[in-house]
Structure 1
Amino acid sequence: MASVVEYKGLKAGYYCGYCESREGKASCGMWAHSMTVQDYQDLIDRGWRRSGKYVYKPVMNQTCCPQYTIRCHPLQFQPSKSHKKVLKKMLKFLAKGEISKGSCEDEPMDSTMEDAVDGDFALINKLDIKCDLKTLSSDLKGSIEVEEKEKEKSLKKEGSKELIHPQAIEEKLGSGEPSHSIKVHIGPKPGKGADLSKPPCRKAKEMRKERKRLKLMQQNSAGSFEGFQARGQPVSVLPKAKSNQPKSLEDLIFESLPENALHKLEFTRFLCSSPLEAEHPANGPECGYGSFHQQYWLDGKIIAVGVIDILPYCVSSVYLYYDPDYSFLSLGVYSALREIAFTRQLHEKTSQLSYYYMGFYIHSCPKMRYKGQYRPSDLLCPETYVWVPIEQCLPSLDNSKYCRFNQDPQAEDEGRSKELDRLRVFHRRSAMPYGVYKNHQEDPSEEAAVLEYANLVGQKCSERMLLFRH
């Protein structure tokens, strides 16, 4: 099984949703007819990102708003005060139906889209944009059957679009332009809304009763936590954390709920259609590698769907869409924290899978800096493709929107293309080295395009992936 891609080249001078420049954006892209999880892992480690079946890489020293690949270290991650606030808000809602007033300051303040070549599709980063689930034209309970049928069709039809159930979603997003179905979070005006830094007022007697009840439940339910499940996953019970240690992320997510809790939150996980080929190696995670829909069910009603890619070394977030009636739960932040915890759980069985990729970090756009709050995290150097702790990058980014993070001036891109003739192409239903293919070509622009592609994807991917040539 090999990845088959069609390089589309440079796309420059188009609209940027971050700074609203009408012609400031620049990126190179390719259409992925199929792709292995290892190839995509190597591509995102060189600054690429998928938007449906379109895979693109910003031209960092040309684009108006440089987008740096960011990854979080889940094994060392400790939730911040604002993250804990979101988790506690969810628990209060599930236990008592309490709804916090005002907006969550940690929610992204704007939406962004990456237009695919010729408007084929638009990327929705799960932390950036929230789509209205009420626009879906069919019940998501039958999503897995729909997706499997569409996947079979896409394998037979070259260049078909990724279908996110149902078709209405594709129609809304395919143009690359925002529509009424996309809900953009707007924060409260200064001086308006509830003070989220203060907990809601509660009586001391009520708090004592709740603590006693939780303590009894924890004692009776010790050892009942079974971790994450692929289907029907409830908010479970964890043993009480030691009092002299801060609560872990899992402690906060799975904190005990009273028996008379008003709401029940469950999860299901399904494979979904994407260019990534599903793989189930013996030494991989139980769920396998590929693209997955994670559905969030509240009292039997679906309220959110997140898409993630599970790759050899990471869980990569793609996007989230949810019912705007539940925006008060800060589902973008909540789902990111759930996915960080999920990455930790996958790591227990697959040790090399130890990172959580959050897409792009855009420092030149202040309202898009929130991803840097998930610490510890690294940014990818756009020239040498090494990971650098974000704390070391921020001073440079404050001075210049485009930066080389690798401080060694002699360092080079170790994964760069070194032998163009070893690049593999797919021509007339046959795979062959580029050194053989070029002997039959007379177009002088051919080699320039192939060389550009090879430098962007690197030597390893150029030797494994098949570059489709007409």
Structure 2
Amino acid sequence: MEFTINQYFSKQNGRCGYCKGLKTSVSHGMHSYTMFPQDYQELIDRGWRRSGLYCYKPLNNETCCPCYTIKCDALEFKLNKSHKKILKRMTRFLRDGKKDKSEESGTANAVKQVKDDGGATDGAVNEMDTIGGMNDEPREPNLPITDVDLAVVAAANPEKHESARKQHESFDDQQSTQPESVSNSTTESADVADGQIATKKSHNATNVQCKKAKIIRLERRQAKIVAAGGVQVAESKKAATKKQTNAQEKTLADYFADASPSDKHKLQLKLVHVKSQEFKDTLDTTYALYQKYQTIIHNDPPTLISDYLEFLQESPVKHKKTRDGPAVGYGSFHQQYWLDDKLIAVAVIDILPYCVSSVYFFYDPDYSFLSLGTYGSLREIDLVQQLADKVPALKYYYMGFYIHSCPKMRYKGRLTPSYLLCPEVYTWHLLTDEIRDKLNQNKYQRFNANTDAKDVDDFQDSDLNKVVLLYDNTCLTYRQYIQSFKIPSIDNMLDVIRSRIYKKLTGDDDDRAVVIEYGKLVGKSLSHRMLYVKT
């Protein structure tokens, strides 16, 4: 029998990667040795997120910069004007093999802008059994069991959680300045190149906006029609044109299908599982790209390959395949972007029962002019849409956290429609201007306006006895754990020693308060089926 196995570390205080405050970031943390995809899906739907093997849940009502889980409905996703420009720019580059003059001059400035901002980033082939994660019913383990090898658990070195937590803080640093600082800069250059708005100096040294000749001609034509009394005709033509445009609206799939054999460049995306041989075969290449990205974009010193693997390859999420799941299975993957024979970007993602969850994204700074940060998000949404063709429930794109108090992180809300997770009752709410206004007034918000609404999977003190622990290589409930330490008498020295050992190991309260805290954070159903490592 297999289980998700976690070691909980309670509340953690650390440096904030968004406002740079020292010890102002407050979150709950746990080290995950192994985890089923369904279990991780339920955890992120309760505000958790992973960085390597370290899982953390911000305490939003205490932390300096509240972090709200955000997701986009990929099947209802709408492209905006900026997205279309980026997609067209990539299409032109692949077709013609060259970039616009404005892009050539703007690339260095774009990279410099990102560096000035401090960096940019966001974000097994076995048949899955019902124990593993696709069954929503709580698992009732056969108790006790002794087939969990503690040597394997110990080998994972739970003390690594401290370095993992520090890596998570560094991860926040890099997320605090998103790739849109590159995208915005290049998009502005593209606007000028497209001739929508140009600026020139007049004789008195003031800036004068000049309209496109096409726009001027259109305005003149409309003025003539109005002067001739044809207002209704003009409106009907405008409505017909708009209707025709909407009917011909290109989808994401249409943009990505525009490739032609005559294109100068070929862009190929490869989905590689983090434990596969293909990942090992391309490790040197991906590691070199990561080094280049970190040193140029983030001004970070070179990192060891072991740190790279701990951060972006290690994952507790098991690779599972099911008959009704995606062909690639559920688990952790790298989506590699190959331009001809050169790797230019890598997206680190988790594929889960209801979503694709973005973990990290890094790219070659030489290709900043392509706005790869935004382009990568669009590609990941396209991946969700493809997976949803076979697995309709898998229709969401999770972007990690939305931090409204950090302006550089608000770009995630521009992927519409997006939803924020209520930090109190774990319900989803459409991100609207009304919610943005409330967050402007107070950075912590309960999005569910119904004060009577409760967490449907709320953990009560009465649920404590069914929490499943891993103790002394044995799986047992909290009730069984307490009963195993009942002391019949202290008439002899052995009983006295046993009593003292018990108190030293567990404390007088048997860790009751900590286990209850854990149960409330992960929810009743997960606390009754995931193993809580009791040392």
TM over 0.5, yes or no?
A: yes
User: Using the alignment, how far apart are the partners of 2:48 and 2:522 within structure 1?
Assistant: 8
* Bigger radius of gyration: 2
Cα distance change of structure 1 residues 155 and 111 upon mapping to structure 2, 3 Å threshold: farther
Q: Which residue of 246, 264, 267 maps to 1:265?
A: 267
Query: Size of the alignment, in residue pairs?
Result: 384
Partner of 2:7: 6
1:306 is displaced (CA, Å) by 1.0
1:16 is displaced (CA, Å) by 1.0
Cα distance change of structure 1 residues 110 and 60 upon mapping to structure 2, 3 Å threshold: farther
Deviations 1:192-239 (A, max 9, x none): 9963324447xxxxxxxxxxxxxxxxxxxxxxxxxxxxxxxxxxxxxx
1:85 is displaced (CA, Å) by 1.3
Q: Does 1:452 align with 2:452?
A: no
* SS of structure 2 residue aligned to 1:372: helix
User: Using the alignment, how far apart are the partners of 2:513 and 2:263 within structure 1?
Assistant: 64
Is the contact made by 1:379 and 1:393 (CA closer than 8 Å) also made in structure 2?
A: no
1:187 is displaced (CA, Å) by 4.5
Greater relative contact order structure (CA < 8 Å, 6+ sep):
2
Q: Which residue of 411, 415, 424 maps to 1:374?
A: 415
Structure 1 unaligned regions, length at least 5: 114-123, 129-153, 164-169, 202-240
Mapping of 1:216-255 within 5 angstroms?
244-255=247-258
Deviations 1:355-392 (A, max 9, x none): 11000000011111000000001000000000011115
Is the contact made by 2:122 and 2:178 (CA closer than 8 Å) also made in structure 1?
A: no
Cα distance change of structure 1 residues 262 and 24 upon mapping to structure 2, 3 Å threshold: same
Is the contact made by 1:33 and 1:158 (CA closer than 8 Å) also made in structure 2?
A: no
Percent of pairs with identical residues: 42
1:157 is displaced (CA, Å) by 6.1
Deviations 1:383-421 (A, max 9, x none): 000001111522221211000000001111111113111
The structure with more helix, counted as a fraction of residues: 2
Q: Which residue of 149, 156, 159 maps to 1:159?
A: 156
Is the contact made by 2:403 and 2:409 (CA closer than 8 Å) also made in structure 1?
A: yes
Cα distance change of structure 1 residues 126 and 159 upon mapping to structure 2, 3 Å threshold: farther
Q: Does 1:85 align with 2:85?
A: yes
1:438 is displaced (CA, Å) by 2.5
Cα distance change of structure 1 residues 194 and 4 upon mapping to structure 2, 3 Å threshold: closer
User: Using the alignment, how far apart are the partners of 1:378 and 1:307 within structure 2?
Assistant: 22
1:159 is displaced (CA, Å) by 2.2
User: Using the alignment, how far apart are the partners of 1:311 and 1:321 within structure 2?
Assistant: 21
Cα distance change of structure 1 residues 462 and 193 upon mapping to structure 2, 3 Å threshold: closer
Partner of 1:234: none
1:10 is displaced (CA, Å) by 0.6
User: Using the alignment, how far apart are the partners of 1:386 and 1:157 within structure 2?
Assistant: 37
* SS of structure 2 residue aligned to 1:32: strand
Structure 2 unaligned regions, length at least 5: 124-150, 196-243, 275-313, 486-501
1:260 is displaced (CA, Å) by 3.1
Partner of 1:420: 464
User: Using the alignment, how far apart are the partners of 1:95 and 1:452 within structure 2?
Assistant: 56
User: Using the alignment, how far apart are the partners of 1:277 and 1:7 within structure 2?
Assistant: 19
User: Using the alignment, how far apart are the partners of 1:194 and 1:314 within structure 2?
Assistant: 32
Partner of 2:526: 461
1:271 is displaced (CA, Å) by 0.9
Cα distance change of structure 1 residues 455 and 299 upon mapping to structure 2, 3 Å threshold: same
User: Using the alignment, how far apart are the partners of 1:9 and 1:370 within structure 2?
Assistant: 31
User: Using the alignment, how far apart are the partners of 1:465 and 1:284 within structure 2?
Assistant: 22
TM-score by length of 2: 0.66
Partner of 1:235: none
Deviations 1:42-98 (A, max 9, x none): 000000000100000000000000000000000000111111111111111111123
Cα distance change of structure 1 residues 397 and 186 upon mapping to structure 2, 3 Å threshold: closer
Mapping of 1:2-401 within 5 angstroms?
2-12=3-13, 14-99=14-99, 100-101=103-104, 102=106, 127=122, 158-159=155-156, 174=167, 177=170, 187=181, 195-200=189-194, 244-257=247-260, 259-272=261-274, 273-391=314-432, 392-401=434-443
Partner of 1:145: none
* SS of structure 1 residue aligned to 2:512: helix
* SS of structure 1 residue aligned to 2:11: strand
Partner of 1:433: 477
* SS of structure 2 residue aligned to 1:267: strand
1:332 is displaced (CA, Å) by 1.3
Cα distance change of structure 1 residues 175 and 421 upon mapping to structure 2, 3 Å threshold: closer
User: Using the alignment, how far apart are the partners of 2:45 and 2:178 within structure 1?
Assistant: 29
1:437 is displaced (CA, Å) by 1.0
User: Using the alignment, how far apart are the partners of 1:7 and 1:242 within structure 2?
Assistant: 54
* SS of structure 2 residue aligned to 1:195: helix
Cα distance change of structure 1 residues 456 and 195 upon mapping to structure 2, 3 Å threshold: same
Cα distance change of structure 1 residues 110 and 9 upon mapping to structure 2, 3 Å threshold: farther
* SS of structure 2 residue aligned to 1:276: coil
1:249 is displaced (CA, Å) by 1.3
Deviations 1:103-130 (A, max 9, x none): 699x9968999xxxxxxxxxx99526xx
Cα distance change of structure 1 residues 243 and 352 upon mapping to structure 2, 3 Å threshold: closer
Cα distance change of structure 1 residues 31 and 317 upon mapping to structure 2, 3 Å threshold: same
User: Using the alignment, how far apart are the partners of 2:179 and 2:400 within structure 1?
Assistant: 19
